[in-house]
Copies of this chain bind each other. A is one copy, B any other.
């Protein structure tokens, strides 16, 4: 299945002479491209919303830097999904794991980069939507510090967790694109301290944790001052529950006016998520908000400037495509155990190709202090020089 949105054919040349001249990119179909409908991965979103007249901020930034737009990519419906199976537009192929999902919701963007159809691609990450497909497709991917980028022209889901992210096949391209979108230089960088998140490695499948061992060893050689520590003292399950309470509530607030006006079509599980988001009791929201506050304090304390925390991006490589819904639910829940901290605390995170398990890629992630995005991208470059 092509990673591009069926029926679209878009090409916009980048401005000549910019820092990304000669590179190409694709944009997840949540980003506005002037004159083209923003489909949002749902057949009723584009039809029921006006055609944008301006490019999204991130699209414009890449075009201005000389990068050429070559298409809009498939996304899970209005970004509500983590596996990349869209019942209306299809499942983009995962070239690194044929027959397996690409990961989502930035499924087409990851697939397009992994297939070499473009050099980089824009995604969004609210609950893992860049990190998971980066892990499953064997790519570099970033979820920047929450609130750092201008999200104008990006279809929102849960604004207190939404970010714009991107993918690349190699660290050098990843750094060039990151420099443009983050607006600062991205030289190779060596963190001063490394924390290995023991609870997160404990969540991963045993063979995934073991397969990531050599990459972890390289990280330890890059950052000799390392130690092991629990990331989430109340349990990753508690953090996950908090995120899976707050995010659906916000998603319902975001999409409610559209849903209540137009009664749009959704895959069953997407509609169910919205229904459940509408039904969260106030007491649950209160608990989740307090747990978020605690998680933010914990990561702020754990990650002073210069320190990075390592964890598996996903607990396993890409699951098979086409599994029944009942089998997907526990898979989604387990992935969320590792991803929830991103939307909850808003720290920047990069996923780095980490290992293969049964021939399929799985990523390792680094998290740093809020605003220390450059340290993470720089570490990707520095890591390449470590044997």
Contacts and interface: CB of A to CB of B under 8 A. Distances in A.
Interface of A: 44, 87-88, 259-269, 271-272, 274-276, 324-326, 328
A265 B268 contact: yes
A276 B275 CA distance: 9
Contacts of A275: 271-272, 275-276
B261 A326 contact: yes
A267 B265 contact: yes
A268 B261 contact: no
A267 B264 contact: yes
Given A275-B275, A276-B275, A264 B259 contact: no
B272 A268 contact: no
A319 to B, nearest CB: 14
Contacts of A260: 324-326
A265 B328 CA distance: 16
A272 B269 contact: no
5 tightest Cβ-Cβ pairs between the two chains A and B: A271-B271, A263-B325, A261-B324, A275-B275, A260-B326
Contact of A267 (B88, B263, B326, B328): B263
Contacts of A265: 87-88, 265-268
A82 to B, nearest CB: 14
Contacts of A324: 260-263
A99 to B, nearest CB: 18
B261 A325 contact: yes
Contacts of A263: 87, 267-269, 324-325, 328
6 contacts: A88-B265, A261-B324, A261-B325, A263-B324, A268-B271, A275-B275
Contacts of A325: 259-263
Contacts of A261: 324-326
Contacts of A264: 87, 267-268
Nearest to A272: B275
A87 B265 CA distance: 7
Contacts of A276: 275
A98 B87 CA distance: 34
Contact of A259 (B44, B268, B274, B328): B268
Given A87-B265, A263-B267, A265-B265, 6 more contacts: A261-B324, A261-B326, A263-B325, A264-B268, A266-B271, A268-B271
A261 B329 CA distance: 12
A261 B275 CA distance: 20
Nearest to A255: B268
Nearest to A271: B271
A248 to B, nearest CB: 13
A76 to B, nearest CB: 12
A121 to B, nearest CB: 26
Contacts of A271: 266, 268, 271-272, 275
A267 B326 CA distance: 21
Contacts of A267: 263-265
Contacts of A269: 263
Contacts of A87: 44, 263-265
Contacts of A268: 259, 263-266, 271, 274
A328 to B, nearest CB: 8
A260 B263 CA distance: 22
Nearest to A259: B268
A236 to B, nearest CB: 26
